Amino acid sequence: LIGPKGYKEDLEAKTDLFLSKKLSKDAMINTRVIPLDEYVNEKRLKLDGIEILIKALEHDDKHLYVYIEAKEILFAGDLIFNNRMVPINNGRSVVNWLKSLEEISELKWVDIISSHGYMTRRTALNLTKSYLTLLTNEVNQSVRAEESIDETLEKVTMSQFSNYKFYEEWQRRNVETVYDELEEIYDFEDEEKKEVAVKKNKIVKTVKTVKKLKKKEKPKVKKKISLRYRTFNQAMALAKKEDKIVLIKVRSTVCKYCDQLERIISKNRKVKKILRQYFELVKVNVDYEDVPMGLYVRSTPTLIFVRADNSKVLMHLTGIRALGELLDILNEAVEDGHNGAYLRR
């Protein structure tokens, strides 16, 4: 015996059998509820090489369906009612029922076997789905309009389904059940909206308070980051002592790209922070002085990165024109320094 996990919950809670409300006491004397062999969310079996899927509904763990894809058959249980009124028993969610109908409608089946009704094609879905959808929409309008249950019962008659069996027995009960569920949802949403409104109000008040305080406070000024350029020998000595890299910035007097690089460095805090933390700087103008270590520079601007402990040239780059390019170069030099263990972290 295999069944959904929701059945186990009812069994443990000793929920009364639906039949016990319909049959006489004498008929129920020798009737007992027994536990199942297995409670499942999903199980696959094979009979004569044909795969059978037994699956509890995603939105209703007290009902399951059996699907045989190879035969295009769906055993739908109490999901489908056709040629008779759809009963919404107390405790069954109409919202989840509609979601479950969407779930099974996506399966590739042609024939359906349900607990109630005689239609066996995909059209068997139509009555149940259309009835539940229309009922939910109409009752929802009443709930949103804050109409009473009596007003809703008078308005929502679903007369287009009055020719179906058991219409008189179930119509009013269905409206009441759906009304209770949707009213609870509406109340919950209303409470959530109120909570959100309260939070927003608190946030607005907090923001206003902060703004007032900020007006009273003096605006914070970011500490200026200054860069210091040294002679090559000074830079090498300090870099060796503090585990930094020597960066020689080479330019010429008339050089628009050199001016552009100067502006990038002077206006960007991130660049200056990296330079201050990891480098000792040397500035050289090739129109007036030689490049240290006898290095040859073909054009300007040029950046030369030198390792202080062994005077090895790490990088020799010409023509840096953009902030992103400069940051990439500096970060690469820092990463190489860390990997080579000659640059402090």
281-333: pLDDT as tens digits: 999 999 888 999 999 998 999 999 999 888 899 989 888 768 888 888 898 88
Tell me whether residue 227 is in a domain.
no
Q: pTM of the full predicted structure?
A: 0.52
Q: Is the pLDDT of residue 59 over 90?
A: no
Q: How high is the mean pLDDT of the chain?
A: 83
Rounded-to-integer distance, Cα 190 and Cα 188, Å: 5
Domain co-membership, 140 together with 247: no
Q: What is the CATH number of the domain that holds 85?
A: 3.60.15.10
62 touches 6 (CB < 8 A): yes
Q: How many separate domains does the chain show? A: 2
Residue 217 counted as domain residue: no
* Overall average pLDDT of the 195-210 stretch: 56
Same structural domain for residues 273 and 177?
no
The better pLDDT of the pair 326, 221 is held by 326
In a domain, 35, yes or no: no
Secondary structure of residue 55 in the 3-state scheme: strand
Q: Which residues contact 198 (CB under 8 A, 6 or more apart)?
A: none
| Closest alpha carbon to 120 in 128, 130, 108, 112 | 112
Average pLDDT, integer, range 176-189: 80
Mean pLDDT of 166-172: 90
User: Is residue 26 a part of any domain in this protein?
Assistant: no
Identify the three-state secondary structure at position 150: helix
Q: How sure is the predictor about 244, in pLDDT bands with cuts at 50, 70 and 90? A: very high
* Range among 15-29, 50-64, 69-83, 205-219 with highest mean pLDDT value: 69-83
pLDDT band at residue 207 using 50, 70 and 90 as cut-offs: low
Domain identity same for 239 and 330:
yes
- At which of 152, 169, 188 does a domain end? 188
25 token code pair: 């006491």
The pLDDT value recorded for residue 19 is 62
- List phi, psi (to 5°) of 253: -65, -55
Which pLDDT band, with edges at 50, 70 and 90, does 78 fall under?
A: confident
Residues 242 and 163 in one domain: no
CATH number reported for the structural domain that contains residue 301 in this entry: 3.40.30.10
- Do 250 and 176 belong to one domain? no
Report the candidate in 101, 94, 99 with the shortest Cα–Cα distance to residue 170: 94
Enumerate long-range contacts of 239-244, CB under 8 Å, 24 or more apart. Answer: 239/279, 239/280, 239/308, 240/308, 240/309, 242/280, 242/344, 243/342, 243/343, 243/344, 244/278, 244/279, 244/280, 244/308, 244/343, 244/344
Q: How many CB atoms lie within 10 A of CB 280?
A: 26
Q: Please check whether residue 317 lies inside any domain of the structure.
A: yes
The parent domain of residue 330 ranges over 232-339
Q: Hey, what's the torsion of the CAs at 93, 98, 102, 103, to 10 degrees?
A: 10
